[in-house]
Chains A and B, each alone.
Chain A
Amino acid sequence: MKNKLFYYSIFIGLFFASCGGKDDTMNPSAEWLIPQSEVRDGGPGKDGIPSIDKPKFVSPNLATFLNDNDLIIGYKVGTEIKGYPHKILDWHEIINDEIGGEKIAIVYCPLTGTAIGWNRVINGTETTYGVSGLLYNTNIIPYDRASNSNWSQLRFDCVNGPLIRTPSLNKQVVETTFGTWKEMYPNSLIVSDNTGFNRNYLQYPYGDYRTNNNNLLFSISNSNSSLPQKERVLGVITNQKNKVYSIENFNSATSVINDVFEGQNLAIIGNKSKNFILAFNRKTANDSILTFTALQNELPNIVVDNEGNKWDVFGVATEGIRVGQKLVQPLSIMGYWFSFPTFYPDVQIYKP
């Protein structure tokens, strides 16, 4: 009996020995536009942080998991307006959605505090973005599922895979607090915490990371101590050059900074207590240079120009002869100060 058991055990052992696991994922190409030695495994693995691909929405008054001081990412297409809370994005980093007929991914990196919208239709092919689990300079590397290519959020291009060198198709979003957002768009839709995943959305997953200037969980290639590491700034990127405008340049009243960067006449509009900074090109399609004056207590309208047009946070004229027109926005993104010099070592800092 024991001998039979012994030989059965050998058979079972050899059976398991013959079984092999299979890596079902495609292997992207070996070429990287960024130093491969500086690409870090963040820990959770590919889709270990699951993106939200079918978000559910509620009205702002039903988003009871949010406090007025919580940050939210807003996007608007036509009359369709949606908010994507940091409290959800901290746990999922990417929300694939459709708004106003646009297929968009909200791509957020909790470690650099940067959020941008990306068009999900690339070269005519619709895709969704996922979290690869990889980081470059502490910044998220999303991957697109259609081609299994890896993208760099703060380089704004594809850095590995079949779509290498393809620029991301950026959509400017608004980052502000939930309290301000409700004031701007009380009838908008907010991503619900009923995500289909089991997470404690009331708990921030990274401890004191947001406020601890000494806490960088991964190495960065270029450190710059000109500002506190976690100070929130708006980074404007043009021609691979970068200039940042700190939230500390603004106060409790909305104000306008006129600046010139890379040949662009920019209006940087911000409000520290309402917690937003936005960048717009003052030059219109017919080459007029507009002059803006800040508006108070008229959210979402934030400025009026010298022609009498009022413009909202998305750069759309809501009143005046230019109603419906949209200001050109330079590529810009809110984030922690430290993330900008790592990608743009010659970064300029606006000083009043």
Chain B
Amino acid sequence: MFRFQQLLLLIIIFLFSIKSNAQCCSGGVPIAGTLGTSSSPHKSWDFLLSYNLNQITDLINEINHLKDNLRTRKTNSILLETSYGLTKKITTTVMFTWIRQERIITLNSGMGTDFESGQGIGDAIILFKYRFTKNKSPYSFVLGAGPKIPLGSTSKTKNNGLLLSADMQPGSGSLDLMLWGYFNKSGFLTPNLSSYLSATYKYSGTNGEFQGIAYQFGKQLQINGGLSYRYTKNKIPFDFTTALQYRHVSYDIKGDNNTLPNSGGQFIFISPMLVVNFNPKLSLRLGANIPAYRKMNGTQLATSKQYNIGINFKIPHKNQTNTIFNSPKNTNNNEK
């Protein structure tokens, strides 16, 4: 059995390497990416520490992939999601983020590359979730809502002291409203199969003044649906999940209600995930988002690949005997 301490040390070293390695890239921030954890039992804690790499390298004109390798963007995100069961029905979830945005452009002159980065504490989310179904029901239906708090900085600068653009900042500068819903049915068709459906909607607020002008990131709707199959080997349950993710992002708005023409779009991703349940309290998840369809507004860079790894740790209430392994969780990924 892989020791928890070894796993944690490994992840910490990996996360440290992200901060140091300037070759990391940037792009969309999965601020609502891991908002898929269901409710927590009463007085129980649920921690999810994850890392997300979003590679945005494909230049897309509407639905056409243009051959252009001049620009590379990546976002490295570290997400800490903490849930606590306030009551049997109500859970509160708080998510903190740390973001590193990077951009590498191959200079036209052949004189190397231009590199820029911005990193720091990102925005945070607070959600209050209400579970409509009973804990022991094969169905799980949870709704939640709460704010996205603009904790992240929007004043990061380049090496020459100039302010980085809005999409290179770790924060958004805006107070947003998050709506979230989750539905799961275990024992779907077979005892080892479960199905789930989740949705997240972000109503974006406005950063009143960014570079002297109001800026509002596009509103986002994301819907995930999939199946998860549990396979047990050597008493360790492995959950294999296949899901489809649909995402719609509206235009960014600048100034006096002016849409940024090359922003927003629609996406469909294929999202495989593996969850390794070491014990009822500890699991490791590995996932990816692979674009299957993209319809962009105008011409812009879009996600080419997205990967995530996370460790989930539960602290049940002392009166609770947690012998039930983690149910499959989906991984959602949103841009900020």
Contact = CB atoms under 8 A, between A and B. Distances in A.
State whether these chains interact: yes
Contact of A214 (B167, B212, B256): B256
A211 interface: no
Interface in B268-287: none
B39 to A, nearest CB: 33
Contacts of A198: 59, 66-68
Contacts of A215: 255-256, 258
Contacts of B167: 43
18 contacts: A10-B10, A17-B21, A20-B22, A21-B21, A21-B102, A23-B159, A24-B114, A25-B113, A40-B211, A41-B162, A41-B163, A41-B168, A43-B165, A45-B114, A130-B107, A200-B299, A214-B258, A218-B213
A128 B299 contact: no
- Determine the interface band of chain A, counting residues with CB < 8 A from chain B: 35 or more
A254 B158 CA distance: 50
B105 interface: yes
Interface string A41-60: 11111111011010000000
> Main SS of the interface on chain A?
loop
B115 A21 contact: yes
A309 B163 CA distance: 54
Interface centre among B2, B59, B160 (most CB of A within 10 A): B160
B17 A14 contact: yes
Interface of B: 2, 6, 9-10, 13-14, 16-17, 20-24, 59, 61, 64, 66-68, 70-71, 102-109, 111-117, 158-168, 211-213, 254-262, 298-299
Contacts of B70: 47-48, 50
Contacts of B298: 203, 205, 207
A19 B24 CA distance: 10
A30 interface: yes
A10 B112 contact: no
A25 B107 contact: yes
Given A24-B115, A128-B109, A145-B109, A19 B21 contact: yes
Nearest to B68: A198
A222 interface: no
B20 A17 contact: yes
Given A215-B258, A219-B211, A45 B116 contact: yes
B258 A13 contact: no
Contacts of B254: 217-218
A134 interface: yes
Given A19-B21, A24-B115, A217-B258, A48 B162 contact: no
B108 A203 contact: no
Nearest to A16: B17
Contacts of A27: 159-160
Contacts of B66: 198-200
A200 to B, nearest CB: 5
A130 B162 contact: no
Contacts of B105: 45-48
A13 B14 contact: yes
Report the 7 A-B pairs with minimum CB-CB distance, sorted nearest first. A21-B22, A219-B212, A24-B112, A207-B261, A17-B17, A13-B13, A198-B66
A209 interface: yes
Nearest to B157: A41
Nearest to A217: B254
B165 A50 contact: no
Contacts of B117: 21
Contacts of A214: 256-258
B102 to A, nearest CB: 8
Contact of A217 (B14, B64, B255): B255
A53 B109 CA distance: 9
Contact of A16 (B21, B161, B262): B21
